[in-house]
Amino acid sequence: MSFVYTPPADPLEVLYRDENLIVLNKPAGLLSVPGRAQDHKDSLQSRVEAAYGGALVVHRLDMDTSGAIVMAFDKETHRHLSKQFEIKTVTKEYVCLVDGLVADEEGQVDLPLRCDWPNRPLQMVDTELGKKALTRWRVLTRREEEAVTRLALTPVTGRSHQLRVHCLSLGHPILGDRFYAPQSVISKSARLCLHAEMLSFDHPMTGKRLSFMAPCEF
C-alpha cells in the first residue's frame, strides 16, 4: 500500500509570498526536505507543497536549525535564486548562543571542512582535503551569570554544519548541539540555539532587493 502524506495542522509561518517564491520561518526540529523513510516524510517542503501545490528547494537549513528559508514556485525563479547563492550575492545572518564567554568582540573562522565519513552526517576540519569554509562572527551580548555568549554569525560559504563546527573550533560550542557539544552543553537547552535571523536576495523577476527578518525564539 502506498504512503499518503498528510501534513500536520500546524500553520506555516510565512514571512513573504508571491506567485514566484515563498519565504518562511522554519521551526527547529523540522526537516527542510523529506527523507527516504516514511517517518521522515514530514518536512517544510512537504508542508508548502500541500498548502500551495508545489515548492522547489533552493537551499536548506539543518533539521535542528530554525529560521528564514526561501523556496521557489517555478523553475525560472529556482534557477535565478540558485545562481544568487552560487555567486554569493545572497546575504544570510544567524544568531546563536554558545557556551562560555567569548573574549574578543569579533573575528572570523577560516577552516576547510569535509564529511567525517565513518560518523556521517558529522563534518570535520581538514586542511588538506576539506572544502573552503569561512564564517564571520561578532559578539551581540554576554550573559556572565550563565556563562553564555550570543553571537551573530555571517557564513560566507555554505558548507554542511559549518556554523556548528566553526563555533566548536572557537572553543565555544552551540548550546543544545547534539552532534558536536559535550553533554554538559547539550543539556543547557532543549533545542539547538542556532537561528537564521536574516535573509536578503534580489527578486528574480523584479530585481528588487528583498530582506527578511525571522523572529527568534531564544
Distance CA 211, CA 154 (A): 15
* Alpha helix positions (H), the chain: 44-52, 75-86, 162-169, 183-186
All three cell numbers of 163: 556554523
The number of helix segments (H) and strand segments (E) in the chain equals 4, 12
- Residue pointed to by grid coordinates 509561518: 13
Cα–Cα dist 189/208, whole Å: 39
Q: If DSSP codes are grouped into helix, strand and coil, which group holds residue 119?
A: helix
Catalytic residues: 62
